[in-house]
Amino acid sequence: MKSQVSTNSSDKILAAATKIAQAHGYGGLNVRDLAEEVGIKAASLYYHFPSKADLAAAVAKRYWEDSASTLEALLTDVQDPLICLRKYPETFRRSLENDNRMCLSSFMAAEYDDLPDVVKTEVQIFADVNVAWLGKVLLAAGVVGNSKEAKRRALAIYAAVAGAQLMARSRSDIKLFDTMIATYRATGLLPA
């Protein structure tokens, strides 16, 4: 029973920390404020995560794991790789729909120089997961002819979609995100 309580507390902490980090980044992740939001003492939070770096690494890891699951589920549910590529930007749009937040890994990547190494690793994995998935789907859809071309195109798509999210967030304008995605489709970066 104790491990169940521990897991539930850890889950609550990670969920609240993710929400804070999506709005304020690593620098805005205050352990005392987080503990208060979750309804525990800061010392109790340290029981689950011995340091802020450990907490942020766990948040980033869960974020990329959830993202990987979402992308694989999209491919499984939709089964048409071309439609999956069309739906890919929606995975970033959801953060904007959630109180104008942005992708946690994009936010933390902007703070890269100030991140502990353990957090940097998890942030990099998020990008790697997205680029690998995009490359696989680009090949499956026949949009590109080889894996080298798939990786280049996947990097461009990932950077463009993350950049569109950043631009839209900075203006609190989700329609700007939609316009930029439509432009990427019109110019051929994303399949129409």
For residue 14, is it within any domain?
A: no
For residue 152, is it within any domain?
A: yes
- Cβ atoms of residues 49 and 13 within 8 Å: yes
- Cβ atoms of residues 129 and 64 within 8 Å: yes
**Residue that wins the pLDDT comparison between 70 and 101:** 70
What's the confidence (pLDDT) of residue 23? 87
Half-sphere exposure of 18 (CA within 13 A, CB side): 19
- Axis crossing angle, helix 31-38 with helix 2-24, rounded to the nearest 10: 130
What's the confidence (pLDDT) of residue 114? 93
The CA distance from 192 to 183, in Å, is 10
What's the confidence (pLDDT) of residue 99? 86
The CA distance from 35 to 46, in Å, is 9
The residues near 155 (Cβ < 8 Å, ≥ 6 apart) are 131
What's the confidence (pLDDT) of residue 1? 37
The CA distance from 53 to 144, in Å, is 39
Neighbours of 152 (CB within 10 A): 14
The CA distance from 158 to 37, in Å, is 33
> 167-184, pLDDT tens digit by residue?
999 999 999 999 999 999
What's the confidence (pLDDT) of residue 7? 59
Range 112-116 average pLDDT = 94
The domain of 73 spans 57-187
For residue 30, is it within any domain?
A: no
What pTM did the predictor assign? 0.89
What's the confidence (pLDDT) of residue 5? 46
For residue 124, is it within any domain?
A: yes
**What average pLDDT does the structure give for the chain?**
92
- Identify the CATH number of the domain in which residue 142 sits: 1.10.357.10
Domain count, the chain: 1
For residue 17, is it within any domain?
A: no
Range 41-49 average pLDDT = 90
For residue 105, is it within any domain?
A: yes
For residue 113, is it within any domain?
A: yes
For residue 120, is it within any domain?
A: yes
Evaluate if residue 65 carries a pLDDT over 90.
yes
Alpha helices in 25-51 (DSSP H): 31-38, 42-48
Range 103-113 average pLDDT = 87
Evaluate if residue 4 carries a pLDDT over 70.
no
- Cβ atoms of residues 69 and 178 within 8 Å: no
